[in-house]
């Protein structure tokens, strides 16, 4: 279930495609191992429309997006799930071209937990996943806020974990899940921008809802949200069990050693991302006082199971 989308079914980039009444999608031309077929930019409403995740700073994608609108339509809001470089940089050029405000939870540092702020203060930098460090919304959105966007009432759901400022957007049983929930792979959680403790809480928040469909920012729609959430939570719990089993002898070990032991089938190019995921789990376990970091919590610490 880790890769439910078929690569052979990838739709073309740059084509505005209706998905259901009130929802259209246009894919940015930025396919990669981390973005699958590219960033899904969504257009909500008719006439006055909202854009979710305008995508990378690519003028070709912006031209395709604007050209794909119906005659007389105008963009009135730009909603950003989070400030990674494949999601938010086109927001400012699109805003300048249309006059629409950029709306998001906050800048690239917004929403970080105290643990992550402390790690940053002690020198932990981004894991290199492409943070849009200069991102600044015009309007900050709070958790649970109802937005009048694209002529629709859209609920903002703060879903930190993949990124601290991550929002999902819900409308009539459809949730635009950004990178928090995807159908083709599990989400990367890379400290300090990613936070596994927050990620699991956000998973529980979404799992408690009764939504009918998810539209992720990469890959195809998820038509059974409950099953996908159950898998995603179980997947993380399984990774935690693997870590705890590896640490069961009580001997200290490192992030790198744990990654090599657990991710035996991972291609070498993806090992750095796997190490960030392992570190995210270890931070969560240290926070829950199941594992201790020596001499202190940092990426190069020795980790040991307590008890």
Binning pLDDT at 50, 70 and 90, where does residue 124 land? Answer: confident
Q: What is the DSSP string of 253-300?
A: B-HHHHHHHH-TTS-GGGHHHHHHHHHHHHHHHHHTTSEEEESSSSTT
**Closest listed residue to residue 285, CA positions, set 266, 263, 273, 301:** 301
- Residue 219 in contact with residue 184, Cβ under 8 Å? yes
DSSP 217: S
Upper half-sphere CA count for residue 114 (Cβ side, 13 Å): 1
Structure confidence by residue, pLDDT tens digits, 221-267: 999 999 999 999 999 999 999 999 999 999 999 999 999 999 988 88
Whole-number pLDDT of residue 3: 46
**Closest listed residue to residue 43, CA positions, set 66, 15, 23, 72:** 23
Whole-number pLDDT of residue 122: 86
d(CA 250, CA 82): 38
Structure confidence by residue, pLDDT tens digits, 193-222: 999 999 999 999 999 999 999 999 999 999
Retrieve residue 58's tokens. 């690519």
Site of tokens 């199941």: 290
């Amino acid at each position: 279930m880790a890769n439910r989308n078929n690569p052979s079914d990838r739709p073309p980039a740059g084509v505005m495609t209706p998905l259901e009444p009130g929802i259209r999608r246009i894919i940015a031309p930025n396919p990669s191992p981390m973005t699958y077929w590219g960033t899904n930019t969504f257009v909500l409403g008719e006439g006055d429309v909202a854009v979710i995740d305008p995508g990378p700073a690519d003028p070709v994608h912006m031209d395709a997006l604007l050209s794909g609108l119906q005659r007389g339509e105008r963009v009135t809001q730009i909603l950003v799930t989070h400030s990674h470089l494949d999601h938010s940089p086109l927001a400012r050029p699109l805003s300048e071209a249309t006059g629409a405000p950029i709306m998001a939870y906050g800048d690239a540092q917004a929403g970080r937990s105290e643990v992550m702020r402390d790690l940053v203060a002690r020198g932990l930098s981004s894991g290199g996943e492409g943070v849009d460090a200069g991102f600044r919304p015009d309007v900050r959105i709070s958790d649970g806020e109802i937005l009048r966007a694209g002529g629709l009432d859209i609920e903002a759901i703060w879903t930190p974990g993949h990124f601290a400022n991550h929002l999902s957007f819900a409308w009539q049983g459809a949730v635009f899940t950004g990178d928090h929930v995807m159908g083709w792979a599990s989400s990367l959680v890379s400290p300090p921008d990613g936070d596994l403790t927050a990620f699991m809480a956000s998973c529980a928040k979404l799992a408690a809802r009764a939504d009918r469909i998810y539209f992720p920012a990469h890959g195809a729609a998820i038509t059974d949200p409950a099953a996908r959430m159950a898998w995603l939570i179980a997947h993380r719990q399984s990774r935690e069990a693997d870590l705890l089993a590896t640490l069961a002898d009580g001997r200290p070990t490192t992030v790198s050693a744990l990654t090599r032991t657990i991710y035996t089938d991972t291609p070498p190019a993806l090992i750095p991302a796997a190490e960030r995921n392992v570190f995210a789990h270890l931070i969560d376990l240290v926070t829950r006082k199941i594992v201790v970091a020596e001499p202190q919590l940092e990426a190069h610490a020795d980790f040991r199971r307590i008890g």
